[in-house]
Amino acid sequence: MKIYKFGGASVKNAEGIKNVARIISSEQEADILVVVSAIGKTTNALEEVIDACFYNKPELNELLLSVKTTHLNIIKKLFDDTDIMFINEVENLFLELECIVENDQLHEDYDFLYDQIVTYGELISSRILSSYLLKTGIRTQWIDARNFIITDSRYRDARVQWDETERIIHNRLLPLSKKNLIITQGFMGRGEKGETTTLGREILPIMMSLTYQP
């Protein structure tokens, strides 16, 4: 299996995403997994959203709108009006994010709130890349890393449950990779109660090590 990891600088704008697509298109073969970081400085921007959300700061809506606008501007350069299905997939992720921000019951634990929000940077960027690849005729499958990486519930510093994670990846992910190029995210997982967890920033994506087959 070939594994690609594209950092935020690689997908910081529409041209960057197009360049990533060109790199991927030159590798038309089975068993390719692509891990995508959040676009540009989105993770930092979402950390500001988290802080404003938790402390009920007045600039919350403005910060959230800024993140959304950055992504929508990129989307406008990659898709046109006939690509409504792709655009809706990204819009749905923003709706999920907005629901989390508006749900006061999720705001009691800062670290928990952090994990529920910050992961949307990678979820959205990977969805945009996957949709653009499909638009250009490259057969891909977007997957949510939280369905494959199982962790404990230590927020912002979760520990991977290796036996279960490895079993799921080998039983479910590897067969998928035989059929389609896989697009996924890096530093997130699913906790003991089904909640989103993160492994800490700058962590080597777990699926890169578990799916690597020399």
Condensed to tens digits (0 to 9), the pLDDT of residues 176-203 reads: 988 889 999 989 999 999 999 999 865 5
Long-range contacts of 161-164 (CB under 8 A, 24+ apart): none
Both structure tokens of 52? 């404003």
Contact 9, 2 (CB under 8 A): no
HSE-up (13 A, CA, CB side) for residue 168: 18
Residue 214 has pLDDT above 90, yes or no: no
The reply to whether CATH 3.40.1160.10 applies to domain 2-210 is yes
Residues 151, 115: Cα–Cα separation, whole Å: 13
Six-digit token string for 28: 């038309």
Quote the pTM value: 0.92
pLDDT of 99 > 90? The answer is yes
Domain borders along the chain are 2-210
Q: How far apart are CA 44 and CA 66, in angstroms?
A: 12
37-79: per-residue pLDDT in tens?
999 999 999 999 999 999 999 999 999 999 999 999 999 999 9
Average pLDDT, the chain: 91
